[in-house]
Amino acid sequence: MQTPQQFCGLLYTVANEIEIPDFDCKIPNYIGDAMIKPKMLGHLVIRVRDAKRSEDFYHDVLGLEVKNRTRGGKMVFLTSNPEIDHEIALAELGPNAVGPFPDQVGLYHMAWELADMDELKDAYQVVLDNKVDIAGFGDHGETKGLYIRDPDGIEIELFADAPEFEKTPLEEILTGGSRQGAIA
């Protein structure tokens, strides 16, 4: 594979041979050898209709710890790891906010890693007990993911590495094939 600089050199050669006057090959600043190399994703901020309702969901269902509230409770910061200030922030827009829309560019889902398959099974029961909307079941080889939606319809994946279940569909593991509660 050629670098952008090599490709431009080739284009200059061709342009010269076919006599294209004033040909200029510009390489955008974001292409080349230099790049940003983040250490890790710091946090996500999601827009919600009601910060308190979303806080209750993320705390009571997902078990995240509230680290801070600002803007009179309209901005809430939560974490799954007490050593990190926050992994997610909720920013209230108000009850008439639109979206999310499945056919729109933007964040598809966020994923929270669980320790193992037993925790994923326990999470499935919590989801059923709290009548959380289940979006689907994901089988990604050695990784299994339960997809749910928060009160605003934002999709969340709860996943665990489970190489011992690589050939078994997650839906079968969690529901015994009954799909109980899948549309909670």
Residue 146: which residues within 8 A CB-CB, separation 6 or more? Answer: 120, 123, 124, 127, 134, 137, 138, 157, 158, 159, 170, 174
CATH of region 108-184: 3.10.180.10
Give the predicted TM-score (pTM) of the model. Answer: 0.78
Instruction: Give tens-digit pLDDT for 36-91.
Output: 889 989 999 999 999 999 999 999 999 999 999 999 999 999 999 999 999 999 99
Which superfamily, per CATH, for 42-97? Answer: 2,3-Dihydroxybiphenyl 1,2-Dioxygenase, domain 1 (3.10.180.10)
